[in-house]
Amino acid sequence: MRERITTDFIEQIPKSDLHLHLDGSLRLRTLIELAKQEKVKMPSYSEAGLRRLVFKSHYKNLPEYLHGFQYTCGVLHRAENLERVARELAEDNLAEGVRYIEVRFAPQLHTSTDLSTPEAIRAVVRGLESAAKAHNRSKRVASGGDVPFHFGVIVCAMRRFGRSMSPYYSDLIRIMGHAHRKEIYAAASLELARAAVELVREENLPIVGFDLAGEESGYPANDHWRAYQFAHENFIKKTVHAGEAYGPESIFQAITECHANRIGHGTWLFDEKMIKDSRVKDKAKYVSNLANYIASARIGIEVCPTSNLQTMPSLKSIAQHPVCRMIEEGLSVSIGTDNRLVSNTTVSRELELVTKEAKLTRRQLRNLVVAGFKGSFFPGSHNDKRKFVRGVITRFESLERKLLPKL
């Protein structure tokens, strides 16, 4: 008999989100309010209109999925706006039982004449701290009836960018006008890594990771190896968007040349047909070796099921998604939302989808939830992280006894 796992249980258990983009996760009503304030022109100023025209349940392709970011990014060039949306994002996660998040964003994308890269990062941290303090000072946490809320910030470099994307990018392209575009992209990522390290060292900000996002095919991660090497040498953990629009070789490159501790998406990990390197003769063996290495090295895979279904037309359902195979083969998988607004989703919804489609047992669900916390780039000490994870497990088991029927 199949074990019953209820929606209520999934909503109440402590959860994590390790792949969460700030600019894709605004509250819709906040976006509307800020767009009016910042005079950002949108196709509609009603929630229903934006759901119909921009933030849909289904998208034709990746460009349509990304279309809405011009509006969300357009309202995030002030420190007070970044602080607000970061606070609200933490509050929304807290409301559905999420107790650890890693919020990633590209601070260079949000610069303006009045806002520098470090100031953008500080604003996001302030917003997250505000929500965390409110929760952690509550009586429920003090009495042991709930686990505390923790967070980290992951700064994202862009694989490619243009002048119109931000004043920072425009100035850099102008200054390096005679350089090859890939050199310009690499210069921006190295500068971001340096800024992150300095903010951790000088201000102890919870910048826990360095990421590379944007168009994957044609813009390889190893173009940014200097930035990743700098982050690596200064104890900043690394994640890379890889295997989302390109194949296993992109994931291999992220691990071997960028020191990736985790992989963002990794959707095409098992797809032999996407291997382009003519030197790879036995593609099945290559994929097997790569998956085994990732599993044994406990390199995390940040899977965002709904987002993948919306941007990859070849995936028709979660049952076809490689997350099922990843779990079967013992990879360290965490379930994330990617973009809560753009994908109209929550962590609870993503976990429930995977639980149903992959037919997870209670034990498998527990392992999946715990893997998210264990695979996190937790900003405290290793012992603090172990204590936090133990509290999560205790809370999970308590809710299991309370909310689910005995087997």
Decide which of 324 and 246 is more confident.
324
Contact 56, 74 (CB under 8 A): no
- Identify the pLDDT of residue 246: 82
Domain containing 159: what range?
Answer: 7-403
- Identify the pLDDT of residue 217: 78
Kindly report the CATH number assigned to the domain that includes residue 175.
3.20.20.140
Number of domain units in the chain: 1
Residue 213 maps to a domain: yes
Residue 2 maps to a domain: no
302: Cα within 13 Å, side-chain hemisphere: 31
Residue 126 maps to a domain: yes
Q: In three state form, how does the secondary structure of 293-330 look?
A: HHHHCCCEEEECHHHHHHHCCCCCCHHHCCHHHHHHCC
- Identify the pLDDT of residue 1: 45
- Identify the pLDDT of residue 117: 97
Per-residue pLDDT band for 101 (boundaries 50, 70, 90) equals very high
Contact 322, 283 (CB under 8 A): no
Percent of the chain with pLDDT over 90: 88
- Identify the pLDDT of residue 2: 63
- Of the residues 244, 302, 350, 352, only one is catalytic, namely 244
Residue range 142-151, pLDDT digits in tens: 999 999 999 9
Residue range 42-76, pLDDT digits in tens: 999 999 999 999 999 889 877 889 899 999 999 99
- Identify the pLDDT of residue 319: 85
pTM exceeds 0.85, yes or no: yes
Residue 1 maps to a domain: no
- Identify the pLDDT of residue 218: 84
Environment class of 284 (CB within 10 Å of its CB; exposed 0-12, middle 13-18, buried 19+): exposed
Environment class of 65 (CB within 10 Å of its CB; exposed 0-12, middle 13-18, buried 19+): buried
Would you call 7 helix, strand, or coil by DSSP?
A: helix
Residue range 378-402, pLDDT digits in tens: 999 999 999 999 999 999 999 999 9
271: Cα within 13 Å, side-chain hemisphere: 23
Q: 150 forms bridges with which residues in the sheet?
A: 100
Per-residue pLDDT band for 243 (boundaries 50, 70, 90) equals confident
Distances (CA, A) of 76 to 8, 254, 330, 362, 370: 34, 29, 39, 41, 33
Residue range 192-217, pLDDT digits in tens: 999 999 999 999 999 999 999 988 87
Instruction: Using the predicted structure, report yes or no on whether residue 81 has a pLDDT greater than 60.
Output: yes
Environment class of 133 (CB within 10 Å of its CB; exposed 0-12, middle 13-18, buried 19+): exposed
Residue 202 maps to a domain: yes
Instruction: Using the predicted structure, report yes or no on whether residue 163 has a pLDDT greater than 80.
Output: yes
As given in the structure block, the two tokens for residue 151 are 């967070």
**Distance of alpha carbon 281 from its chain centroid, rounded?**
34
Residue range 267-286, pLDDT digits in tens: 999 999 988 888 999 999 99
88: Cα within 13 Å, side-chain hemisphere: 18
- Identify the pLDDT of residue 45: 97
Instruction: Using the predicted structure, report yes or no on whether residue 140 has a pLDDT greater than 50.
Output: yes
167: Cα within 13 Å, side-chain hemisphere: 9
Residue 171 maps to a domain: yes
Decide which of 277 and 365 is more confident.
365
Q: What is the mean pLDDT of residues 293-314?
A: 94
Active site residue 3: no
As given in the structure block, the two tokens for residue 125 are 């941290």
Tell me which residue has tokens 């999970």: 396
Residue 245 maps to a domain: yes
Mean pLDDT rounded to a whole number for the chain: 95
- Identify the pLDDT of residue 317: 86
